[in-house]
Structure 1
């Protein structure tokens, strides 16, 4: 797989309570990356790539939900994985970060950790790809919705060179965003995948925009039903 970013950020909800939001996004020059690489829940975000072991991502977020720190959770999973030299695994939780790249990943490969984010990639044109991805995310306006900032970060890495396998035309991209906030409705634009395309970043952006339009239209059309359902749930 190619390159991905995991992030954590704090924010205040409408009631003024402190919440934590997590995000993960990925793109590659293969199809269907969204089913393999990005994992997230209300406890953190994890990406598994290179010679992919999906269980590292799936169990990683499960371990975070069980209360393990991201460093302990992902280190333990790698220690039990015979394919560790060919893996890349990274992620964030509420307090820390973790990133690992095995020595048998495809060149160029590597990772970085910064405050509240990790980026990793393999089979890239060079280190500048992951640096551009991280720099773009950190430079973004924090008031911009997180899915949009994740797409912008992928775009920056892609423009820097991205995956070097230019002979592979069919590509994919995906993102997931989660939060500790208990929301009445989950928006449609926080779990998106583009599974097979020649323009993964542009298509992911278009999918994000259309999902937002769909959510706004649904809320407007069914607002009365949503309000009635909420009252029923409250026992009123």
Structure 2
């Protein structure tokens, strides 16, 4: 009932190398952002199909504790009696993991590449995840924020048909990004959800644009205050 993408990137800022992780997801049900995407400065995980939220919560916790994403997610699936109904995928600094249980509903499947995984079920076809993966892979050298590029990747999959259940009008989408870089003010656009809408990708993109505008305005007004940890340092 979903398609999603998890990614890992490295980048440099002021001569220092950092890692960032992101996950984006959409489905023809409300509130997907509360159930499926999990991210930290160490990895990104998505749990879907017949959702077991604990797989995502514990999966990212295990990665944070130093377990490789493949080992963490395989261990959780091995202990899950409903594993045949699950899709679970994710990335960490060193690799990728994808799983689609044999009882997921058609069309279902997954793909992966260097630093990313994509999976989906109840889709119009394989081209949904292929388009999502290609759109992301083609954007990896862009300097635009990762959250924006992940929304673009969802848009590419959505344009191929996305979730096939057209009778379900109320949809949702979410994007989450985390990084090892320490910033005075975390970008507001790195954790966004559209919980109930008829146009999930368009609304998520609009929300991103507004959040980015708000972030830039807040930086201009409050950056000195955050740096000095003193609200009086901001403009009046």
1:26-45 superposed matches below 5 A: 26-45=25-44
- For normalisation by structure 2, the TM-score amounts to 0.95
Q: Which moved more, 1:19-28 or 1:218-227?
A: 218-227
Q: Partners in 2 of 1:226 and 1:90 — Cα distance?
A: 36
Q: What per-residue deviation string (whole Å, max 9, x for no partner) do you get for residues 92-135 of structure 1? A: 00000000000011100000111100000000001110000000
* 1:181 CA drift (Å): 1.3
Query: Displacement, 1:220?
Result: 1.9
- CA–CA distance in 1 between the matches of 2:26 and 2:75? 26
For structure 1, the residue ranges without an aligned partner over 5 or more in a row are 231-236
Q: State how 1:31-180 maps to structure 2 within 5 Å.
A: 31-140=30-139, 141-180=141-180
CA distance in 2, matches of 1:99, 1:174: 20
- The more displaced of 90-99 and 140-149 is 140-149
Give the drift of 1:46: 0.1
Tell me which residue corresponds to 1:207. 207
**CA RMSD between the two structures:** 1.2
**SS of aligned partner of 2:125:** coil
What TM-score, normalized by structure 1, do the two folds share? 0.95
Query: 1:64 deviation in Å?
Result: 0.3
Query: Deviations for 1:136-183, whole angstroms, at most 9, x for unmatched residues?
Result: 011124212101100000000000110000111110000000111122
How far apart are 1:222 and its partner, in Å?
Answer: 2.1
